[in-house]
Amino acid sequence: MDRSASRMPTRSDSDWGEWPLAKLFRPRAIAVVGATSKPGKVGRIVFDLLRRTERPVYPVHPTQKTLLGHDVIPRVEDLPEGVDVAVITVNAGQAVQAATDCGHKGIPFIIVVAGGFSEVGAEGRILEDKLRAVVATTGSRILGPNSLGIFVPRERIDTIFVEHGDRALAGGGGVAFITQSGSVGTEGLGVASNIGFGLRAFVGLGNKVDLNELDFLRYFGDDDRTNCIMLYMENFSDGRAFLEIAGQVSRKKPVVVLKAGRTAAGAAAASSHTGRLAGSDRVVSGAFRQFCIQRVFDEEQLCDAARVLAGAPLPRGPRVAVISSGGGYGVMAADYIESRRQRTRLQMAHLSPDTEAKLRAIVPGFASVANPVDLTASATDEMTGDTLRIVTADDGVDAVICVALFAPPGISDALVAHTAAVAADVDKPIVVVGQFGPFTDGLLRRFYDNGVIGYPCVARAVRAVRTLVERAEFVHTMEGTP
Partner 1 sequence: MRSAAQKWLHGLSNTKPDELDVKELLSCYDIATPAGLRLGPNDSVAIRNMQPPYVVKVCSGDILHKTDQGGVRLNVQPDRLENTITEMRAKFPGVSVLVEEHVHVSGSELIVGGLVDQEFGTAVMVGAGGILTELYQDVTFRLAPCSAEEARRMLNELQIAPLFSGYRGLNLDADLLAKTVAAISRMVIDLGDVFSQLDINPLGWVNNKWMALDAKLVLNSKV
Binder among 20, 171, 172, 266 for partner 1 (CB under 8 A): 266
Cβ-contact 309, 468 below 8 angstroms: yes
We find the least distance from the C-beta atom of residue 150 to partner 1, in angstroms, to be 26
Question: 145: cis peptide before it, omega within 30°?
Answer: yes
Residue 243 found at the interface with partner 1 (CB under 8 A) = yes
We find the least distance from the C-beta atom of residue 474 to partner 1, in angstroms, to be 11
H or E segment to which residue 130 belongs: helix 122-138
What's the CA gap between 438 and 279, in Å, rounded? 42
For CA atoms 439, 440, 441, 443, the dihedral sign is positive
If phi > 0 it is left, if psi is from -120 to 50 it is alpha, else beta; for residue 17 that is: left
Identity (one letter) of the amino acid at 262?
Answer: R
Count the residues of the shown chain that bind partner 1, applying the rule CB under 8 A.
Answer: 30
We find the least distance from the C-beta atom of residue 277 to partner 1, in angstroms, to be 5
Site for partner 1 in 459-478 (CB under 8 A): 477
Binder among 14, 66, 290, 347 for partner 1 (CB under 8 A): 290
What's the CA gap between 355 and 387, in Å, rounded? 9
Binder among 275, 328, 364, 409 for partner 1 (CB under 8 A): 275
Angle at 23 between CA 21 and CA 28, to 5 degrees: 175
Residue 278 found at the interface with partner 1 (CB under 8 A) = yes
Using the contact rule CB under 8 A, the part of the chain among 15-23, 221-229, 276-284, 447-455 near partner 1 is 276-284
Using the contact rule CB under 8 A, the part of the chain among 37-45, 80-88, 282-290, 415-423 near partner 1 is 282-290
Residue 232 found at the interface with partner 1 (CB under 8 A) = no
Cβ-contact 60, 79 below 8 angstroms: yes
Binder among 6, 63, 273, 479 for partner 1 (CB under 8 A): 273
Question: 372: cis peptide before it, omega within 30°?
Answer: yes
Residue 237 found at the interface with partner 1 (CB under 8 A) = no
Binder among 6, 10, 63, 481 for partner 1 (CB under 8 A): 481
- For partner 1, what does the binding mask look like between residues 329 and 348, x meaning CB under 8 A? -----------x--x-----
Using the contact rule CB under 8 A, the part of the chain among 65-73, 183-191, 237-245, 308-316 near partner 1 is 237-245
How distant is the alpha carbon of residue 397 from its chain centre? 28
- For partner 1, what does the binding mask look like between residues 186 and 225, x meaning CB under 8 A? ----------------------------------------
Angstrom distances, CA of residue 255 to CA of 54, 207, 262, 302:
31, 22, 20, 10
Q: Identify which of 8, 475, 477, 482 has the alpha carbon closest to the alpha carbon of residue 214.
A: 8
Using the contact rule CB under 8 A, the part of the chain among 66-74, 114-122, 207-215, 261-269 near partner 1 is 261-269
We find the least distance from the C-beta atom of residue 257 to partner 1, in angstroms, to be 13
Residue 282 found at the interface with partner 1 (CB under 8 A) = yes
Residue 248 found at the interface with partner 1 (CB under 8 A) = no
If phi > 0 it is left, if psi is from -120 to 50 it is alpha, else beta; for residue 72 that is: beta
Cβ-contact 318, 401 below 8 angstroms: no
We find the least distance from the C-beta atom of residue 207 to partner 1, in angstroms, to be 18
Is the Cβ of residue 287 or residue 403 nearer to partner 1 in the bound state?
287
Binder among 5, 162, 277, 357 for partner 1 (CB under 8 A): 277
What's the CA gap between 393 and 316, in Å, rounded? 13
What's the CA gap between 87 and 35, in Å, rounded? 9
We find the least distance from the C-beta atom of residue 275 to partner 1, in angstroms, to be 5
Using the contact rule CB under 8 A, the part of the chain among 9-17, 224-232, 283-291, 308-316 near partner 1 is 283-291
Residue 263 found at the interface with partner 1 (CB under 8 A) = yes
Binder among 14, 66, 137, 235 for partner 1 (CB under 8 A): 235
DSSP string of 63-101? Answer: S--EETTEEPBSSGGGSPTTEEEEEE-S-HHHHHHHHHH
H or E segment to which residue 373 belongs: strand 373-374
What's the CA gap between 304 and 299, in Å, rounded? 8
Is the Cβ of residue 52 or residue 282 nearer to partner 1 in the bound state?
282
Binding site for partner 1 (CB under 8 A): 235-236, 239-240, 243, 263, 265-266, 270-278, 282-287, 289-290, 340, 343, 477, 480-481
